[in-house]
Structure 1
Amino acid sequence: MSPLSLDAEKLYAARLHATRARPYLATALFALHVVPSRLVPTMGVDRYWRCYVNPAFVAATALEELAAVWVHEVSHLLRDHHGRGDRLGLDTPGDRLRVNIAADCEINDDAFGDGLPTPEGAVHPDRLNLPAGQLMEEYLPQFRLGPRTQEHAWLDCGSGADGLGRPWDLGPGGANALSEHERDAVRFRVAEGIRGAPGHAPKGWQRWADEAFHPPQPWRRLLGAAVRTAASGAGSGDDYTYGRPARRAAALPGVVLPSLRRRPPRVCVVIDTSGSVSDGELGSAILEVAAITQAVGGRRDLVTVVPCDAAAHLAVPLCRGEGIALLGGGGTDLRAGFARALRASPRPDVVVVLTDGQTPWPERRPACRTVVGLFPRANKPAWDEADPDYVPDAPPDWARVVTIG
């Protein structure tokens, strides 16, 4: 065989070996389109799911090691290392090499073994005195290019690993490029396979699959959208005025009908100030009040804040609220906060509640729309010294719930 020709049979046999060793990655492995290229040092991928392969590398590498490289390269694409590299704003070749090394550390700490040997020269966190189990973004600040990384200066997994274009890339207009929807479909199928067989994939892949099904939400944008939706619903901010006759008045001669006028919505923010809410979360609540104000057009005079623990405290208009005192620190009963908010005159069109959720809720739907911003409690189980088996009630169905942070 000519040294310039690709041993496709060996390469595809290695891919089959990789699917047997990592069956949950089979969809992604077979989605890659092979492009022979003498420009790429070993194997590399681009963001369009092409795999560039140097024929000389294939000829010189054992089949089992080739299978490990297949798994390594497709892992870059599944974990969106090119997109994450773009968001870091690092554009020099040296910076992108650091991104590639950090991405390899994220992958290689659990990629090999169980039928896949570690490829020669593979980057591993241990070799850089770094902890295992972290993400690319966590590894990046922990090392710089220098003596420790000198042996990895040759590393090049392609633009699919760091986002920086390569001379051999075919680009978006080249043959066999996967569209964005096709790439997302591949990721979804892989995540589905991992979640369908728990325990078969390493923890890093299980974490990735969970995030693929439940991606982090832009909570501040969601909170603002929820407030705007609630404020713009029928009945919110509606009032009648005789300053302008209704258009239907022409059908009733001698009768003056008021017209419906749209006024800016009023928002009351009830902030949970109980002892279970940390100072950091109270500071975050103040930032959310500012975001809520922006969601209603910046009208600070239409936003009121009610601190509440087991009792509701003084309602503070935001236009005079530069020194809002978030009083509290005791138990939690936000029903008092709802009652105080609904007694206000004029009555609010929307009530926004910022809480950790460890509170009883009103039994009946309030006479206005409600948005609940929940501080997460994944690592802080609810506890009540009077009732060790206490489990807080979930927010009611009539509230729009957004997780904060």
Structure 2
Amino acid sequence: MAKLLSARLHAVQVRPYLADALFALHVVEDRSVPTMAVDSYWRCYVSPGFVARTPVEELAGVWVHEVSHLLRDHHGRDEVYAREHEEYGPGARLRRNIAADFEINDDIYGDGLPLPAGVVLPSLLSLPEELLTEEYLGMVSMSAITPELAWLDCGSGADGQERPWELGPDGGQGLSRQQRDAVRFRVAEGIKGRPGDAPEGWRRWAEEAFHPPQPWRQLLGAAVRSAASAPGAGEDHSYRRPSRRSAGVPKVVLPSLRRTPPRVSVVIDTSGSVSDAELGSALLEVAAISRAVGGRRDLVSVISCDAAAGVAVPLCRAENIALVGGGGTDLRSGFARALRSRPRPDVIVALTDGQTPWPSAPPPCRTVVGLFPRRTRRVDEENPDYVPDGPPPWARVVTIG
């Protein structure tokens, strides 16, 4: 135990931003554990033989490795993956464990934590680094390396499948859900406070911990419906039903105000920086937008826009729309083309990666921007301090994906 706790202290010294998480783990000695493993209740199961034969610096790396599984919620994420793909059993468990190790090991070693022999890295399968567990699981079968890594077992905290040695929810010294969330928040807060101490992968994790992913399809649909139902959108006078105010004006028939379905122009960024997958997603959103405004596809038009706007195409079937582009990006021409349409749209929806100039003044209608996320933004080689403009404040912005 003294050697194990010395290794944890070394891990805290070289990775101070993980200190709260490392001290939150409760150690359980168990000779049936191959090396070290964790469960979702933040218990760390340790083999005494493994500790005895492993140097302190390498043990420190194992501490960081195991707590990384818990901070990144591999238990919950891999449970979801196994349920969605119906992959159970020892082989599927090992695949999920390997993919989880691929995700975290590229951020662990170096700067005081030596790379041990046999560590599982994406380079074993010539895969890129800095991907997520789910991405690695979808890229390759891993059948070529699973026989060599049959010894690998980081516990249910790494792959969501309980082990015989684990104490379970009724065992002692486990953390409640609220306590586990509090530990994650404190670690993320520390990384955000001193981002220079943490690698890029941990900084991205901390950003998502503060701003978790949102159900963007629901948000985008709600934004379109909200814009379409705003006062002044799709309203007109009609004599089909006289106004109730007519009773106060004898011999005069006043028209009533009725709501007509709003017209929507969808401007799709087709520049070279937008991928084919994102364009396919944009077409799916066009179909969803038509449903959000009452199913009137004749009131929805689509404009392809890279450096110049194309023709406004009426929506018949979203999957049959040809998206033309591939050059630079300037959505200002797309906005101008939408506003030249007659009748003029009540709502403009722009689907873009955001790397574009924006109109200098708000258009005379509601605007919703569906923003494809980007890890890195465009740079200006002549001006290293250049930061591209984000969507303007007059637009309702929903991040897609």
Q: TM-score range by the shorter chain?
A: 0.7 to 0.9
- Structure 2 counterparts to residues 201-240 of structure 1, below 5 A: 201-213=198-210, 215=212, 219-240=216-237
- Rounded Cα–Cα distance in structure 2 between residues aligned with 1:274 and 1:60: 57
In the alignment, is residue 302 of structure 1 matched against residue 275 of structure 2?
A: no
- Structure 2 counterparts to residues 184-195 of structure 1, below 5 A: 184-195=181-192
The structure 2 residue matched to 1:76, chosen from 49, 53, 69, is 69
Q: 1:330 to 1:86 in 2, by over 3 A?
A: closer
In the alignment, is residue 381 of structure 1 matched against residue 374 of structure 2?
A: no
Q: Report the secondary structure of 2:184's partner residue.
A: helix
Work out whether residues 358 and 382 of structure 1, in 8 Å CA contact, stay in contact via their aligned partners in 2.
no
Counterpart for residue 67 of structure 1: 60
- Rounded Cα–Cα distance in structure 2 between residues aligned with 1:208 and 1:267: 37
Q: 1:203 to 1:398 in 2, by over 3 A?
A: closer
Residue type of the partner of 1:349?
D
Counterpart for residue 129 of structure 2: 133
Q: Percent identity among equivalent residues?
A: 70
Q: 1:313 to 1:109 in 2, by over 3 A?
A: closer
Q: 1:343 to 1:211 in 2, by over 3 A?
A: same
Q: Which shifted more, 90-99 or 331-340?
A: 331-340
Counterpart for residue 397 of structure 1: 393
Q: 1:153 to 1:378 in 2, by over 3 A?
A: closer
- Rounded Cα–Cα distance in structure 2 between residues aligned with 1:132 and 1:274: 26
Counterpart for residue 144 of structure 1: 142
Counterpart for residue 158 of structure 1: 155
- In the TM superposition, residue 151 of structure 1 has moved relative to its aligned partner by 4.5
Residue type of the partner of 2:142?
R
The structure 2 residue matched to 1:123, chosen from 92, 103, 119, is 119
- In the TM superposition, residue 365 of structure 1 has moved relative to its aligned partner by 2.4
- Rounded Cα–Cα distance in structure 2 between residues aligned with 1:330 and 1:59: 61
- In the TM superposition, residue 98 of structure 1 has moved relative to its aligned partner by 1.9
- Rounded Cα–Cα distance in structure 2 between residues aligned with 1:181 and 1:272: 42
In the alignment, is residue 34 of structure 1 matched against residue 27 of structure 2?
A: yes
Report the TM-score, using the length of structure 1 for normalisation: 0.77
Counterpart for residue 43 of structure 1: 36
Work out whether residues 287 and 318 of structure 2, in 8 Å CA contact, stay in contact via their aligned partners in 1.
no
Work out whether residues 40 and 52 of structure 1, in 8 Å CA contact, stay in contact via their aligned partners in 2.
yes
- Rounded Cα–Cα distance in structure 2 between residues aligned with 1:372 and 1:390: 23
Counterpart for residue 369 of structure 1: 366
Q: 1:328 to 1:204 in 2, by over 3 A?
A: closer
Structure 2 gaps, min length 5: none
- In the TM superposition, residue 70 of structure 1 has moved relative to its aligned partner by 1.9
Structure 1 gaps, min length 5: 1-6
The structure 2 residue matched to 1:88, chosen from 81, 90, 100, is 81
- Rounded Cα–Cα distance in structure 2 between residues aligned with 1:204 and 1:162: 20
Report the TM-score, using the length of structure 2 for normalisation: 0.78
Residue type of the partner of 2:74?
H
- In the TM superposition, residue 158 of structure 1 has moved relative to its aligned partner by 0.9
Q: 1:220 to 1:154 in 2, by over 3 A?
A: same
Q: 1:145 to 1:373 in 2, by over 3 A?
A: closer
- Rounded Cα–Cα distance in structure 2 between residues aligned with 1:332 and 1:60: 59
- Rounded Cα–Cα distance in structure 1 between residues aligned with 2:314 and 2:91: 53
Q: 1:321 to 1:200 in 2, by over 3 A?
A: closer
- Rounded Cα–Cα distance in structure 2 between residues aligned with 1:368 and 1:162: 49
- Rounded Cα–Cα distance in structure 2 between residues aligned with 1:281 and 1:234: 32
The structure 2 residue matched to 1:22, chosen from 15, 21, 24, is 15
Q: Report the secondary structure of 1:75's partner residue.
A: helix
CA RMSD, Structure 1 to Structure 2 (Å)? 4.1
- In the TM superposition, residue 160 of structure 1 has moved relative to its aligned partner by 0.4
Work out whether residues 105 and 123 of structure 1, in 8 Å CA contact, stay in contact via their aligned partners in 2.
no
- Rounded Cα–Cα distance in structure 1 between residues aligned with 2:271 and 2:14: 52
- In the TM superposition, residue 368 of structure 1 has moved relative to its aligned partner by 1.6
- In the TM superposition, residue 41 of structure 1 has moved relative to its aligned partner by 3.5
Work out whether residues 109 and 132 of structure 1, in 8 Å CA contact, stay in contact via their aligned partners in 2.
no
- Rounded Cα–Cα distance in structure 1 between residues aligned with 2:100 and 2:327: 46
Counterpart for residue 4 of structure 1: none
- Structure 2 counterparts to residues 282-297 of structure 1, below 5 A: 282-297=279-294
Q: 1:302 to 1:185 in 2, by over 3 A?
A: farther
- In the TM superposition, residue 29 of structure 1 has moved relative to its aligned partner by 0.9
- In the TM superposition, residue 227 of structure 1 has moved relative to its aligned partner by 1.5
Q: Which shifted more, 297-306 or 9-18?
A: 9-18
- Rounded Cα–Cα distance in structure 1 between residues aligned with 2:326 and 2:56: 64
In the alignment, is residue 53 of structure 1 matched against residue 46 of structure 2?
A: yes
Provide, for residues 253-299 of structure 1, a one-character-per-residue CA deviation record: whole Å limited to 9, x for no partner.
87755554444332111234567767666555433322322333433
